[in-house]
Amino acid sequence: MRHFFTGPVIKTELLVAWLEKHGIPAAQHFVDPSLPDDGDLDREAVVEVPEADYDRAYQLFFAEREDEL
């Protein structure tokens, strides 16, 4: 697995669902796993994708969309 994104849980959960919709299995885990899971949507989390899917995920998420111009 390769690091793809770090941010608040509210964003990482959406990103994981979005990646999976595009056929890219993603994993999410908390930056500090020692903190209690109290439902804090601002808690920092990391999203990882398989190394083989990283380039495709990057293009889908970070590349500029030419069809939006």
Rg (CA), the chain: 13
The predicted-structure confidence for 7-58, as pLDDT tens digits, reads as follows 999 999 999 999 999 999 999 999 998 988 888 889 999 999 999 999 999 9
Q: For residue 1, what pLDDT is reported?
A: 96
Reported as a pLDDT band with limits 50, 70 and 90, residue 65 is: low
- The domains located in the chain, with CATH, are 2-32+42-64 (3.30.70.1530)
- Non-local (6+) Cβ contacts of 68 within 8 A are none
From the CB of residue 12, how many other CB atoms can be counted at a distance below 10 Å? 23
